[in-house]
Amino acid sequence: MASSNAKFSRLLLSSLLVLLFSTPIVVLLLSLQTGPSVAVEASLTRAEIASIEQLLLENSPQSPTNSGQQQVHLDAHELNLLARYGIEVLGLSPNWLAQASLADGLLTSQLSVRVTQRFQPLYLNLRAEFSVQQGSLHLDNLYFGELQVPQRFLQYALEQIREEVASSNSAYQDISELLQSVDSIAINDDQLTVMLNWDLELLSRITNQAQQLFISEKDQQLIAAHYLRIADVASTIPADLRAVSLNTFLIPMFATAHDNVVAGSDPVAENRTLFQALAVYVNDEDIAQLIGAEKAALLTPPRKIEVRLQRRQDLAQHLVSIAAITASAGADIAEMLSTTKEAYDARYRSGFSFSDLTANTVGVLIARLATQDRSTALLIQERLAQLTSEAEYMPTVGSNGDGLSETDFNAQYQDRSSQEYQRRVAEIETMVAEKPLFQGLQ
């Protein structure tokens, strides 16, 4: 009898252990569905991208260099545009789909992820429901497919996340501070309104941490090496020169990058990190934002010399900055930031500049080709190392319609989705594409 009881106990214990360890797998399988809960949409059109640019412009502070309070308004259509754009530029489309809705004081977000395509496509569908409580978003319910996460477990998980954010890690502390900078959130008339305190120093720290997060240890080493090469080049420039052409740095730096490739380095990685290091120098920024304070402390800062393109510092800054963004995040993000920045300048600052837009176009194209594939990256290296003139890649711009206010811009072009504006942009792209540096590579 005792033996039978012992066998039964072992069987019961084994069954309970199997059930315990298989429960997450069973729950996952039950949450998978054969279709997405979010409707599949076509790629963003040019008009929709122009809408996103306008959305970024409308919600940007008038003085981004000053701290202060900022109010952001987004409706469901705008939330969904931003979600679709984010998914596209991150390369998650078409396997990821997202959708948000605003109704009756609630924000509902849905995410569909295709996990397999064999035989029958399967999707992991998630739905989260948020309400506004005391001026903050509160996660009320979370669903995996048709399975609702128990409230007790959901609240426990949220509490663990809060504890992690409040830990001693400096990055978590900054994120916690960013969340605390949100004064209030409201959902009224199917619109999400966020009131936050624009803290430039905090946003700068978080941006730097995000940059470092996506830069590998190997890339950080390459960036540091390129930065040392910048110092070498700067040290050879006569002391009485206050400014030099961008070519003064492009030629020797890409020659060194090509030598590194001959020695076994990856040309795409060399080009990407070269633009990142050069953008920091040309814009007089801190290299620590890319490689961290500890590594940066080991480097001797290069002598500061103004870098110009067609005798203009702003053109060199535009070209190199957008090239670094393109090499790091892709041409889509870079092009959107470029046009949004010019629209912002037209509204709040120096005015819309087609000269700046031309330099941006050059920077995007150079960096796109320099990081496209191994063979193209190598050819760009060779050509940049043998430059004899800025005219080999940069069209002559002159004033080129610079300083257009938003009113003047709208009077002439209506908006950035108009045929007249698109024709002007196409002309710039054609002028750039015809430059010798790019022949046979596009």
Predicted confidence (pLDDT) per residue in 102-115, tens digit: 988 889 999 898 88
pLDDT at 222 (0 to 100): 97
For residue 267, is it within any domain? yes
Q: Same domain for 191 and 230? A: no
Alpha carbon distances (Å) from 290 to 209, 222, 325, 371: 8, 11, 13, 19
Q: Domain end: 173, 199, 225, which one? A: 199
Reported as a single tens digit per residue, the pLDDT across 250-302 is: 999 999 999 999 999 999 999 999 999 999 999 998 999 889 889 999 999 99
Q: 24: cis peptide before it, omega within 30°?
A: no
Alpha carbon distances (Å) from 114 to 118, 222, 427: 11, 36, 41
Helix axes 354-370, 419-433, angle to 10 degrees: 50
Q: Same domain for 72 and 128? A: yes
The average pLDDT across 81-88 equals 83
Reported as a single tens digit per residue, the pLDDT across 18-52 is: 544 544 555 555 667 788 888 888 777 777 877 77
Does residue 366 have a pLDDT over 60?
Answer: yes
Q: Same domain for 14 and 141? A: no
Q: In the numeric block, which tokens belong to residue 283?
A: 């814009």
The average pLDDT across 237-243 equals 94
Q: Same domain for 219 and 179? A: no
Reported as a single tens digit per residue, the pLDDT across 128-171 is: 999 988 888 888 998 888 888 888 877 777 777 666 655 555 55
Helices (H), 214-291: 217-235, 247-262, 267-282, 288-291
Residue 57's domain comprises 46-199
Q: Same domain for 170 and 242? A: no
Q: Which range among 72-76, 188-192, 431-435 has the greatest average pLDDT? A: 431-435
Q: Same domain for 72 and 161? A: yes
The average pLDDT across 74-96 equals 83
Query: Can you tell me the distance from the alpha carbon of 39 to that of 112, in angstroms, rounded to the nearest whole number?
Result: 9
Query: Can you tell me the distance from the alpha carbon of 385 to that of 378, in angstroms, rounded to the nearest whole number?
Result: 11
For residue 209, is it within any domain? no
The average pLDDT across 366-391 equals 96
pLDDT at 437 (0 to 100): 97
Query: Can you tell me the distance from the alpha carbon of 258 to that of 422, in angstroms, rounded to the nearest whole number?
Result: 37
Q: Is 378 left (phi over 0), alpha (psi -120 to 50) or beta?
A: alpha
Could you give the number of structural domains in the chain? 3
Q: In the numeric block, which tokens belong to residue 338?
A: 């470029």
pLDDT at 384 (0 to 100): 97
166 touches 176 (CB < 8 A): yes
Query: Can you tell me the distance from the alpha carbon of 104 to that of 368, in angstroms, rounded to the nearest whole number?
Result: 45
Confidence of residue 320 (pLDDT cuts 50, 70, 90): very high
Does residue 8 have a pLDDT over 60?
Answer: no
pLDDT at 196 (0 to 100): 75
394 touches 362 (CB < 8 A): yes
Q: Same domain for 374 and 294? A: yes
Q: Which range among 84-93, 272-281, 319-328, 411-420 has the greatest average pLDDT? A: 272-281
Confidence of residue 343 (pLDDT cuts 50, 70, 90): low
For residue 41, is it within any domain? no
For residue 39, is it within any domain? no
Confidence of residue 337 (pLDDT cuts 50, 70, 90): low
Percentage with pLDDT > 90 across the chain:
36
For residue 58, is it within any domain? yes
Q: Same domain for 243 and 380? A: yes
Phi, psi of 80 (to 5 degrees): -70, -35
Q: Same domain for 257 and 322? A: yes
pLDDT at 403 (0 to 100): 63
**H/E segment holding residue 5:** helix 2-31
Q: Domain end: 199, 226, 241, which one? A: 199
Confidence of residue 436 (pLDDT cuts 50, 70, 90): very high
Alpha carbon distances (Å) from 174 to 138, 200, 253, 422: 21, 12, 36, 41
* Average pLDDT, rounded, for the chain: 81
Confidence of residue 6 (pLDDT cuts 50, 70, 90): low
Percentage with pLDDT > 70 across the chain:
73
Q: Same domain for 24 and 75? A: no
pLDDT at 62 (0 to 100): 61
Residue 358 vs residue 117, higher pLDDT: 358
Q: Same domain for 193 and 241? A: no
Residue 373 vs residue 340, higher pLDDT: 373
For residue 206, is it within any domain? no
For residue 426, is it within any domain? yes
Does residue 373 have a pLDDT over 80?
Answer: yes
Cβ neighbours of 441 (radius 10 Å)? 16
Residue where the block lists tokens 């940069």: 394
Reported as a single tens digit per residue, the pLDDT across 193-215 is: 888 776 656 555 555 555 555 67
Q: Same domain for 275 and 240? A: yes
Q: What is the DSSP letter of 121?
A: -
The average pLDDT across 81-96 equals 80
